[in-house]
Amino acid sequence: MIRCLIIDDEPLAIEVIKTHLAQLSELQLVGSFANAVAALETLKREPIDLIFLDIEMPLLSGIDFIKNTPMVPKVIFTTAYRNYAIESYELDVVDYLLKPISFSRFFKAINKFKTMAQLPIAKEEVKKEVPLNDHLYVNANKKFIKIAYHEILYVESMKDYIRIHLSDKSVVTKEALSNFEAKLPAEFLRIHRSFIVNTQKVTAFTKVDVEIGKTELPIGTSYKETVMGFLNIGQ
């Protein structure tokens, strides 16, 4: 069993994580707390393997909690704020989950923890990570075109339209980029107000751009820390 704690001052966020935890039989929730100080006593007397830790909390932030707690267990940050990704990476946390947390992204973080802890990944869990549908249909040129997720390189916004770039062609459809983003699985990442990339296709990146083959895509200023955290931690 992987013994877990949740430390978060948002009751709804705690309930979401509890729901995700309940779907994986080897995860045991030992307790949940509204602030890090309240969790200290449990950490002293209970063996804990993994903490789901919010960052901005009353009394003690999640970052200060890690810095000032000796022998802290492995941590997965759960936060609504993008701007802590790089700092969290420097703290050697397992992963950085941006709220609202989908089960597929949560599951990916758990598998990363298992890999770090050299724990086996059960076959039935791997099946959960694979979406029931590996494709979607988009309306283009008065017909619905089937597009497999793994074929998408990146998606580009063009005001009221988007252009979906595939390895051998591109497809244009009328839809807002934010709406299309909500349909994509966890491996897709918004890097700019005008671009979403398939992180499985990223061949290189810097602090200012992402490369997919010979194509260079800019990283927006407000997305920079989330992108750095995801590409360094989430993969």
pLDDT, mean over the chain: 87
In this predicted structure, the answer to whether residue 234 has a pLDDT above a threshold of 70 is no
How far apart are alpha carbons 53 and 212 in whole angstroms? 33
pLDDT confidence bin for 233, thresholds 50/70/90: low
Could you give the residue ranges of the DSSP H alpha helices within the chain? 11-22, 36-45, 62-68, 85-90, 103-116, 123-129, 177-181, 224-229
At 80 the pLDDT is 83
Task: Say what the pTM is.
Answer: 0.54
> Residue 205: which H helix or E strand, with range?
strand 204-205
Pick the CATH number of 2-129 from 3.40.50.2300, 3.40.50.300, 3.30.450.40, 3.40.50.11540: 3.40.50.2300
15-19, 80-84, 85-89, 163-167, range with the lowest pLDDT: 85-89
Rg over CA atoms, the chain? 19
How far apart are alpha carbons 204 and 202 in whole angstroms? 6
The residue written with tokens 């013994």 in the block is: 3
pLDDT confidence bin for 129, thresholds 50/70/90: very low
In this predicted structure, the answer to whether residue 194 has a pLDDT above a threshold of 60 is yes
Pick the CATH number of 135-234 from 3.40.50.20, 2.40.50.1020, 2.60.120.10, 3.30.450.40: 2.40.50.1020
At 172 the pLDDT is 96
Could you give the residue ranges of the DSSP H alpha helices within 91-176? 103-116, 123-129
Mean pLDDT value across residues 192-204: 94
pLDDT over 90, % of the chain? 55
pLDDT digits (tens, 9 = 90+) for 39-72: 999 999 999 999 999 999 988 999 999 999 888 9
How far apart are alpha carbons 63 and 8 in whole angstroms? 13
Phi, psi of 196 (to 5 degrees): -120, 135
Mean pLDDT value across residues 168-187: 89
**Count of residues in the chain:** 235
At 117 the pLDDT is 83
pLDDT confidence bin for 212, thresholds 50/70/90: very high
Phi, psi of 233 (to 5 degrees): -105, -45
pLDDT digits (tens, 9 = 90+) for 70-126: 889 999 999 887 777 667 667 889 998 988 888 888 998 999 899 888 876 554 344
The ranges of the chain annotated as CATH 3.40.50.2300 are: 2-129
